[in-house]
């Protein structure tokens, strides 16, 4: 698992997603260090609702998130998973 500090660009549910049992939550992130921009990830099973709440708060209050993730694949396909998502104060 890699740790990256990111900006949340988009987040929401997808009823036709297949990566986890429902609800599948997708999130689009940009690494503030520049290693990737506008990449999609899915939230690992078991924390979908909590991660959605954190990501929405990050967007609403213009905060960054510290993310534990599987590094994205080349070309951003297939999506990789996020297992930790922490709202950062600054």
Give residues in contact with another protein (CB under 8 A).
7-16, 22-26, 28, 30-34, 37-38, 48-49, 52-53, 56, 59-60, 64
CB-wise, 26 or 83, nearer to another protein? 26
- Within 10 A of 59 (CB to CB), how many other CB atoms are there? 14
Q: Does residue 5 contact residue 32 with C-beta atoms inside 8 Å?
A: yes
CB-wise, 54 or 80, nearer to another protein? 54
CB of 55 to another protein, least distance (A): 8
Closest CA to 57 of 88, 80, 24: 88
């Amino acid at each position: 698992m890699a740790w990256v500090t990111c900006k949340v660009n988009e987040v929401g549910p997808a009823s036709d997603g297949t990566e986890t049992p429902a609800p599948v939550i997708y999130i689009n992130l940009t690494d503030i260090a520049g290693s990737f921009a506008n990449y999609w990830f899915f939230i690992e099973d078991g924390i979908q609702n909590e991660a959605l709440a954190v990501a929405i708060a990050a967007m609403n209050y213009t905060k960054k998130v510290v993310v534990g993730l599987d590094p994205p694949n080349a070309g951003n396909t297939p999506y990789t998973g996020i297992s930790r998502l922490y709202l950062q104060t600054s």
